[in-house]
A = this chain, B = another copy of it.
Amino acid sequence: MLIKLKNKSATAVLAIQNYVKEKGCDTRVFEGDTFDAIVVCGTDREHKVNAADITSLAESDIDKIMTTGYLLSSRAFKQEDTTFKVGDVTFGSDELVMMAGPCAIETYEQLDAVAKELSKCGVKVLRGGAFKPRTSPYSFQGLGVEGLKIARKVCDKYNMLFISELTDLRFLDAYQEYVDIIQTGARNSQNFELLKALGAIDTPVLFKKGFADSIDNFLCAADYIYSGGNKRVILCERGVMGLNQNHYRHNLDINSLLALKHLSHLPVCIDPSHACGRRDFIEPMCLAATALGVSSVLIEVHDNPPLSLCDAKQAFSLSYFKHLQKSLSVFTTATKSVGKD
């Protein structure tokens, strides 16, 4: 249950908090731009917390009591773009954040080689998968926690942040220990238990949209994280199902990217590597997304793409990555100049 007030009212908030506490549950208060919102937390199995009671407590202050839909991730709640820092990297500003690295962490040597070069290019966030969700059970499944440890060591060496996909809550402790930004995958975009748990921790979350998620469902799911108290959420577009899988894997959907920027205050990111699954699509997709004002990109880079243990067709070489950085800087300049007009 979420109670949306019409405006900011400390009195109404307090009255509701007291009532909820009496019933044995707890509250979390969210301050919006022009109104406050209160989420009821804790399990209320006997339905002691009652909408009618709450309404009677503060009728003139309550706008609505929500049991469906989303609010906290929307511009209705917060007009201005959310920006936040992870280490010294800022998400949501107009400086494009590049996150790059191999699809899967394979060995210390491999990751070190990639990180060393990326670090020289100014990349501050290293990506690398430790638990790989693969369509077939017989494909390589990742190095697991061992992979996380390798990446931590490498990131510490080059002073980089580490981002990696969490696939199951049994590994959450390890992620909190080794990872700076937790990524969730397209297949877990509606895994609400996972999202609730990520809402209860401090680690920032890069939250990927599923192949077949509507924007409304995606923002409802973002509210699962945000309403738990974790406000550092990055919305990531990584493609929707399309009609041309013989030519490219998914459609990177810049329409939904625009709509997300319009509907939500949270920073947006793209993952063109996984979306398209084709190396030659990645640069143009990055340029296009830059034109739309995306604030971060996630790129697969491998020291030796043809030998990549997974998704070899989409990985960039290091030299191509350098070329991409140059092109992107031309376009971010162009975008800024258009915006200022």
- Chain A residues packing against B (C-beta within 8 Å): 1-2, 39, 43, 45, 66-70, 131, 133-140, 143-144, 146, 167-170, 187-188, 190-194, 196, 210-217, 220-221, 223-224, 227, 240-244, 246-248, 251-256, 258-259, 262-263, 276, 280-281, 284-285, 287-293, 323, 326-327, 330-331, 333-335, 337-338, 341
Report the minimum CB–CB distance from A140 to chain B (whole Å): 7
Are the C-beta atoms of B187 and A190 separated by less than 8 Å?
Answer: yes
Nearest-CB residue, chain B, relative to A290: B291
Contact partner of A167 (CB less than 8 A), chosen from B2, B193, B327, is B193
A25 to B290, CA, bound (A): 47
- The interface residues of chain B lying within 8 Å CB-to-CB of A333 are 334
> Of A45, A191, A211, A223, which is in contact with the most chain B CB atoms at under 10 Å from its CB?
A191
Number of copies: 4
Contact partner of A136 (CB less than 8 A), chosen from B66, B131, B243, is B66
Report the minimum CB–CB distance from A331 to chain B (whole Å): 6
A286 to B1, CA, bound (A): 35
Are the C-beta atoms of B326 and A330 separated by less than 8 Å?
Answer: no
Are the C-beta atoms of A288 and B254 separated by less than 8 Å?
Answer: yes
Are the C-beta atoms of A135 and B334 separated by less than 8 Å?
Answer: no
| Given A243-B213, A255-B281, also A168-B169 (CB < 8 A) | yes
A224 to B137, CA, bound (A): 5
Contact partner of A288 (CB less than 8 A), chosen from B69, B168, B213, B291, is B291
A332 to B143, CA, bound (A): 45
> Of A241, A242, A284, A330, which is in contact with the most chain B CB atoms at under 10 Å from its CB?
A284
A293 to B327, CA, bound (A): 14
- The interface residues of chain B lying within 8 Å CB-to-CB of A212 are 210-212, 241, 243
